Amino acid sequence: MDSLEKNIPSSGLLNEKELDLFEKQNPDGMSSAQIIDLFNKRGIKFSEATFRKYVQLGLLPRSRRVGSKGKHKGSRGLYPPGTARQVNEIKRMMALDYTIEEIRQHFAFVGGEIEELRTLLMRIMDRLEESLVRNEEDAFIIAGLRAQIGEARVTAKSLVVRLEDAATRIRELRQTAREAV
């Protein structure tokens, strides 16, 4: 059992901290089996067929093929680190009685773009930190740069949370309008 599994209650959607941990543990991506297993361990029904359906509907990104080292090892499909976060959002919206079409509209609206922004910002900061490790000549300057990157991470997370909050509030307005009809 890994550290993420120890922190997961028996049921319910993943929270922000759990999603961050899962993404951090799988920075290069994850297989569909890993994502499905993550939700099933929470008591959330989620199958390979449903996962494939979400990909076909455009709710989730397509995998990228990654070759395995060694002769005749083949390749496997890896999904971007934010895919579990997107599944979590789909499941949350379904629990609120959104239809698949409404969920598709939501993701077409901004969901995918916010997730891409989160991934891009984290990748940029990871690369900046990696480049510092290779250039440790001046410890004082390096410490300042590390602090600056750390502040940027906090700001980036705050930005993404604010954008997600705005999108959620817009969804809620749409839901209210939907219920009024």
Average pLDDT over residues 151-167: 89
Range with lowest mean pLDDT among 44-48, 66-70, 156-160: 66-70
Each residue's pLDDT tens digit, 75-99: 578 888 888 988 998 998 888 888 8
Q: How far is CA 81 from CA 19, 60, 98, 148, in A?
A: 9, 11, 25, 24
Each residue's pLDDT tens digit, 102-132: 888 777 666 667 877 888 898 899 889 888 8
Average pLDDT over residues 23-40: 90
* C-alpha distance across the termini of the chain, in Å: 48
The domain limits of the chain are 1-95, 99-181
What number of other Cβ atoms are within 10 A of residue 89's Cβ? 24
Using alpha carbons, select from 116, 117, 115, 90 the residue that is nearest to residue 171. 90
Judging by beta carbons within 10 Å of its beta carbon (0-12, 13-18, 19+), is residue 97 exposed, middle or buried?
exposed
